[in-house]
Structure 1
């Protein structure tokens, strides 16, 4: 990842948008752009990042996964 036009970067963002579209964007008609930006921020930082379970993290939320690994690193 990190190179311009990398297929890995494209797959990552396509996966993100395929989740964002039905869960947030398609549910409301967004009039002002600021309202949409605020809703996207809340959707990402309020649900997607801290609470949504991810298959790549053994079906843990990112917050739970980080807490599990932070505990292991402190104990080690």
Structure 2
């Protein structure tokens, strides 16, 4: 889990898993640009439940962590 100073972001989860944007794009069958948009908050993932489960496995994180990561970019 992230310490108090470090919020959980998609970039944090990716780096914690030791993955590059390119590796996630390959594993998730999306473009590197899409992964970059997820990371910068330019776009939130629109995934089927099976894809969400796969992303959780790829990032080795909980659903709560993933939700928090994408809540960081909300207005």
TM-score range, shorter chain: under 0.3
Which structure has more relative contact order (CA 8 Å, sep 6+)? It is 2
Larger radius of gyration: 1
TM-score, normalising length from structure 1? 0.26
Q: Would you tell me which structure has more helix in proportion to its own residues?
A: 1
